[in-house]
Amino acid sequence: MLLVHTLREERERVLAGLQKRHLDAAAAVDRIVALDDQRKELQTSNDTLLAERNTLSSEIGTLFKSGRKDEANALRERVNEIKGAVAGAEETLKGVLQELEDALLQLPNVPHELVPTGSSAEDNEVFKAYPGELPTLVDGAQPHWELAETYGIFSLELGVRTTGSGFPVFTGQGARLQRALVNYFLDRNTAAGYTEYAPPLLVNEDTARATGQLPDKEGQMYYIPEDDLYLIPTAEVPLTNLYRGELLDAGQLPVQLTGYTPCFRREAGSYGAHVRGLNRVHQFDKVEIVQLTLPEESYTKLDEMVAHVGSLLDELQLPYRILRLCGGDMGFTSALTYDFEVWSAAQQRWLEVSSVSNFETFQSNRLKLRYRGERGNELLHTLNGSALALPRIIAALLENNQQPDGILLPEVLHGYLGKERLTPVA
């Protein structure tokens, strides 16, 4: 959530930044400032009335003690009038505060100056291209949804039987591969200084709002009305909220968290080859990394997180590129986002496997997450990234490593799997 004083003091920068999202926010910003002015006036008026009430209440006691009962009763009538006025003012103030918060919740984050202008994914900037020639496969190479049957990796049909479309069931060596990847990612993340957590898979409305999933993404989240809980779309949500309302010392920073969770998203609904197999599903496994940092260090930390995710893909020997997302393709809460895409040789296209983002103070303002700084208590910056999302990683590993005698996996996974290759099932 944007800060009101930022909208006041940096209005032109905010409006220019939001134009990168193709959002004309002038009217919304002016309305927020006007509501805040109204809030200040009501608060000042209320404070004045409360001060008068306190003064008169003290005088009433003095008058009664000195026997001036008529004067005391007259002041008591005025105190009662003030009480009524205060109650009305507080009710009005409550409504204005709610209206102000609702208006602020509708505004997305302001893109960083490095964010390119653009409307869609086609306008994203290639930040780091793959340096070599993209691998090609021999005739007869299969996409991962066909390899899955040959090698017993996963079954979409079993998922339909038990749940519905978009819920794959991993089986045999496919389930073992998934477990190996989760352990590998967690081990690499903890070795890099991240503390591992196993968070809940369900969160309440306050938690979802604090990281920006609400009110922006209600339609993409699974909701359980009987319990008023949401299934998480990513581990970012519970992990970041572990520090909601906290006041940290600068010496505790940066806070680095990692966690593995299943993720649940209702967004899968289109059809065609680009969403076949594991390309887009409702439930998938992902390992997440989160950082809470000092504002002056957050973009250095973002670069470090990008480098870390890149090192994972290097070790998996997957061709990848990094995109810097344009304003029109960037998430609601992000100030700057880098997407990682791996090359699928069988599908002949790039598959997104990670997003690494800096949210600056947008989430921490909702979280009320601060640190003790030189100028008092200040908002932290929050960052997160996928390290990594499994479905498309598995798709690329299967497709890019096909050989006549099996699927040869990268050396870094051999110890986790207990073997070097996947072999066809009988």
Rg of the Cα atoms in the chain:
28
Closest CA to 201 of 276, 315, 283: 283
Pick the range with the lowest mean pLDDT from 1-5, 166-170, 243-247, 272-276: 272-276
The amino acid occupying position 327 is G
Sign for the pseudo-dihedral over CA of 110, 114, 119, 121: negative
3 state DSSP class of 51: helix
3 state DSSP class of 380: coil
Residue 213 and residue 335 in contact, taking contact as beta carbons nearer than 8 Å: no
Segment 157-173 mean pLDDT: 96
Residue 273 has pLDDT above 90, yes or no: no
pLDDT value at residue 405: 87
Segment 368-381 mean pLDDT: 95
C-alpha dist (Å) from residue 3 to 22, 100, 304, 331, 372: 21, 11, 27, 18, 18
Sign for the pseudo-dihedral over CA of 400, 139, 134, 354: negative
Q: How far apart are CA 329 and CA 327, in angstroms?
A: 6
3 state DSSP class of 422: strand
Segment 344-373 mean pLDDT: 96
DSSP state of 269: -
Burial class (CB in 10 A: 0-12, 13-18, 19+), 263: buried
The first and second tokens of residue 417, run together, are 């799997």
Intra-chain end-to-end CA distance of the chain, in Å:
55
CA–chain centroid gap for 165, Å, is: 25
C-alpha dist (Å) from residue 68 to 53, 73, 176: 19, 9, 88
pLDDT value at residue 372: 95
Quick one: how many helices (H) and strands (E) in the chain?
A: 13, 19
pLDDT value at residue 70: 78
DSSP state of 342: E
pLDDT value at residue 19: 97
CA–chain centroid gap for 325, Å, is: 15
pLDDT value at residue 404: 86
Residue 159 and residue 167 in contact, taking contact as beta carbons nearer than 8 Å: yes
CATH, domain 4-105, list 1.10.1740.10, 2.60.40.1180, 1.10.287.40, 3.40.50.880:
1.10.287.40
What is the rounded average pLDDT for all residues in the chain?
Answer: 94
Segment 245-258 mean pLDDT: 97
- CA angle, 235 then 196 then 398, to 5°: 65
pTM over cut 0.85? yes
Share of the chain above pLDDT 90, in %: 81
| pLDDT tens profile 285-327 | 999 999 999 999 999 999 999 999 999 999 999 999 999 999 9
Residue 245 has pLDDT above 90, yes or no: yes
- List the chain domain ranges: 4-105, 121-422
Read off the pLDDT band of 274 (50, 70, 90): low
Segment 70-94 mean pLDDT: 84
DSSP state of 204: E
The first and second tokens of residue 314, run together, are 């290097």
**4-105 and 121-422 in the same fold:** no
Q: How far apart are CA 309 and CA 262, in angstroms?
A: 19
Segment 3-14 mean pLDDT: 97
Instruction: List for the chain the helix, strand, coil content (%; round to 5).
Output: 45, 20, 30
Contacts of 210 (CB under 8 A, 6+ apart): 240, 241, 244, 363, 366, 367
Q: In what order do the strands lie in the sheet with 402-403?
A: 402-403, 406-408, 421-422
* Long-range contacts from 140-144, C-beta under 8 angstroms, 24+ separation: 141/345, 141/346, 141/399, 141/402, 142/346, 142/399, 142/402, 143/276, 143/277, 143/344, 143/346, 143/347, 143/399, 144/277, 144/278, 144/344, 144/346, 144/394, 144/395, 144/396, 144/398, 144/399
Residue 77 has pLDDT above 60, yes or no: yes
pLDDT value at residue 68: 79
Residue 272 has pLDDT above 80, yes or no: no
Residue 270 has pLDDT above 60, yes or no: no
The amino acid occupying position 91 is E
Contacts of 80 (CB under 8 A, 6+ apart): none
Residue 358 and residue 384 in contact, taking contact as beta carbons nearer than 8 Å: no
DSSP state of 220: G
pLDDT value at residue 79: 79
The amino acid occupying position 286 is K
C-alpha dist (Å) from residue 108 to 30, 96, 101, 105: 15, 21, 13, 8
3 state DSSP class of 386: strand
For domain 121-422, the CATH superfamily is Bira Bifunctional Protein; Domain 2 (3.30.930.10)
